[in-house]
Structure 1
């Protein structure tokens, strides 16, 4: 896990990812009055982690695989079972913990492919927000410091600048006709994201 931590804001609160897209689950769960271990101790979560680990080709010890195959037979109301489920969650390699305070990067970190599933457990609105930002982070389409409003302002400014040039010059008009759809799409995309992120 990289030491580089990237911060986004969700409703004025920090949401941190590392450079590979791992979500700082401890920090975000606290804002919803929860702890990541609550989610990681659920049999459905552990089953999902095991399936995702298989799909991603993560190597898991055969003894752990055997235990994972029997999770549905466990009584999840028992403390010993919950401890076992938590241990199995971490054994998938998709959950990492780091000692220290959350402010300094300590806590539970989740693989990028788990971020949306975890976010759904916390809040549907946060799940949508998280999905958009994970995608942007992994594909490099939006920098973490650029807000949704900045992206919208930039898309509108680029469109208006090309439109102004187009009105003055025939060649620019031809270029405007070619780029018009791209600008409109960029403005529409930025508008939808701004609406999702800012709640309007």
Structure 2
């Protein structure tokens, strides 16, 4: 059992799949009751939120895991009793608690999910001894979180960072990147310039030029990511992670909401 310290409170986390009494607790699960209590809040206040209910239902559907397995209530086990939750739920809970606690949770709780074997003492006393590939992935996760990137894009960045530090991870990482791209169904709703062109009667080149002149995107010097959205364009488009044709390399493309075609029509 891992015990993290947040200010003057302790928060427990499972370093590997294990059991607490008759309950099976997967790796990475966190004692959410302790998280709330450490910040003088009630977990029940978070649970009763409509946004929390919707989030749990969506996460359950996305992961194919029932809510009862994502949120596990344990009673009668002294210091380990309370509600244990999946690490993604723990991060969402931390976001509700405070910005400061959210930063701490991202840096501390997710490290367990990025390691294949965790030594409890090293985790709480010497986090700097983590493998360089883990540190690189963790840094990418933090950057993605602070930059407000989509989860799938942030995950792709973390995988790429780990590979750069340790190329031996590439076979397993390629499988992970493919799974991320396949399961990120929401990206399908976004249009490529070619798709926009088919709807408004323009070529992809003309669409990109129009988007530049409209102040929605700008050209970069990066051949892999030739366009990025401007501040105005961010309400219409986003960077999407995809698998390049003919390879298993991750590429990032700027795509647009279907309603952006209305802007083209209004300008004519």
Output the TM-score relative to the length of structure 1.
0.52
Hey, what does 2:83 align to over in structure 1? 108
Unaligned runs of 5+ in 2: 17-26, 143-268
Retained in 1: the 8 A contact 2:74–2:81? yes
Cα separation, 2, equivalents of 1:143 and 1:126 = 24
In the alignment, does 2:130 pair up with 1:146? no
Divergent runs of 4+, >6 A: none
Displacement of 1:146: 2.9
Cα separation, 1, equivalents of 2:119 and 2:8 = 17
Output the TM-score relative to the length of structure 2.
0.40
Cα separation, 2, equivalents of 1:136 and 1:44 = 26
Cα separation, 1, equivalents of 2:68 and 2:125 = 38
Unaligned runs of 5+ in 1: 60-90, 156-181, 193-200
Hey, what does 2:70 align to over in structure 1? 94
Hey, what does 1:133 align to over in structure 2? 108
Cα separation, 2, equivalents of 1:58 and 1:113 = 13
Hey, what does 2:4 align to over in structure 1? 8
- Between the two proteins, the alignment pairs up a number of residues equal to 124
Displacement of 1:151: 4.5
Retained in 2: the 8 A contact 1:21–1:134? yes
Question: In 2 relative to 1, CA 149–24 (structure 1 residues): closer, same or farther, beyond 3 Å?
Answer: closer
In the alignment, does 2:32 pair up with 1:56? no
Question: In 2 relative to 1, CA 42–143 (structure 1 residues): closer, same or farther, beyond 3 Å?
Answer: same
Displacement of 1:10: 2.0
Q: Encode CA deviations 1:76-131: one digit per residue, 9 max, x unaligned.
A: xxxxxxxxxxxxxxx5532110112651x111111111011001111211111111
Cα separation, 2, equivalents of 1:93 and 1:151 = 29
Hey, what does 1:64 align to over in structure 2? none
Return the structure number with greater helix share. Answer: 1
Retained in 2: the 8 A contact 1:25–1:109? yes
Question: In 2 relative to 1, CA 148–17 (structure 1 residues): closer, same or farther, beyond 3 Å?
Answer: closer
Cα separation, 2, equivalents of 1:143 and 1:125 = 26
Q: Encode CA deviations 1:134-170: one digit per residue, 9 max, x unaligned.
A: 3211122764423687445x69xxxxxxxxxxxxxxx
* Larger RCO (CA within 8 A; separation ≥ 6): 1
- Aligned equivalent of 1:17, options 13, 16, 21: 13
Question: In 2 relative to 1, CA 151–92 (structure 1 residues): closer, same or farther, beyond 3 Å?
Answer: closer
